[in-house]
Amino acid sequence: MHCRLRPIVKSLVSAGVIMFALGATAGFAAAPNPCAPAARSGANPCAAKNPCAAGDKVDPKRVTRPKGYKPFKADRATLVKQGEALWKDTKLSTNGMSCNTCHVNNAAFAPTFAKPYPHMVAMAKEKGGVKQVHLDEMVQFCMIVPMAAKPLKWESRELAALTAYTGRLQNKFKPNPCAAKNPCAAKNPCAAKNPCAAKK
Ligand code: HEC
């Protein structure tokens, strides 16, 4: 008897939970939802807790160089300098992060970063089905996925500067032999290196 009742109790409980969840969602929809505007534009600030795991796929068109693309040109040293400032600028994101938050001391860079571009990057492949990316395309990818922001204008000084600075980091980058030895870490770089996940 006792045992027979259990499933019923269980289903009642879970029905209650579902009703509660539905009620909560409905309530949220009516109340101003801080996540809604960005969610509509494709970026999800709620994903900030684990930005890499953010479910949404990325439309490859948003991260692919446009036709006839002419990157902004300027003196390389100036671009690198401006890029370094942008690299640490949390205003570029909608979730309080900067590129530096994740990539300080080359953190979160998989061994692929050592290879000349274009090359395969796991995140781009998983989220956008893109087999190979150029460096500026990868900057755009991180703008959209972990930074939960809009991509930069393709021919903007900002994109050229961030690309130049990231290229400088790449020149000095030495893949971490431990990361390479641990295939799991490489397959799921977000889990391993996500500074936000650590706070949980
Ligand atoms: C929340 C953490 C996070 C933030 C913030 C972030 N990234 Fe990343 N980024 C990653 C992770 C994780 C990867 C590794 C993806 C992979 O290898 O699959 C990555 C990969 C990259 C790569 C490609 C490396 C390669 O293997 O070629 C570049 C370039 C890059 N990020 C640049 C940036 C720039 C520029 C910004 C700021 C606009 C930025 N990232 C912000 C997490 C982040």
Concatenating the DSSP letter of every residue in 45-81 gives GGGGGSGGG------GGGGSPPTT-------HHHHHH
Q: Does 107 have pLDDT greater than 70? A: yes
- At residue 200 the predicted structure's pLDDT band, cuts being 50, 70 and 90, is very low
Does 113 contact ligand 1 (Cβ within 6 A)?
yes
Atom 26 in ligand 1: residue holding the nearest Cα: 113
Q: What is the pTM of this model?
A: 0.72
For residue 75, the CA-to-ligand 1 centroid distance in Å is 25
Angle at 132 between CA 170 and CA 148, to 5 degrees: 75
For residue 79, the CA-to-ligand 1 centroid distance in Å is 19
Q: Does 12 have pLDDT greater than 50? A: no
For residue 1, the CA-to-ligand 1 centroid distance in Å is 57
Q: Does 20 have pLDDT greater than 50? A: no
Question: For the segment 44-98, what is each residue's pLDDT rounded down to a tens digit?
Answer: 444 445 556 656 799 999 999 999 999 999 999 999 999 999 999 999 999 999 9
What is the atom index within ligand 1 of the atom nearest the CA of 122?
18
Q: What is the chain's length?
A: 200
Q: Does 149 have pLDDT greater than 60? A: yes
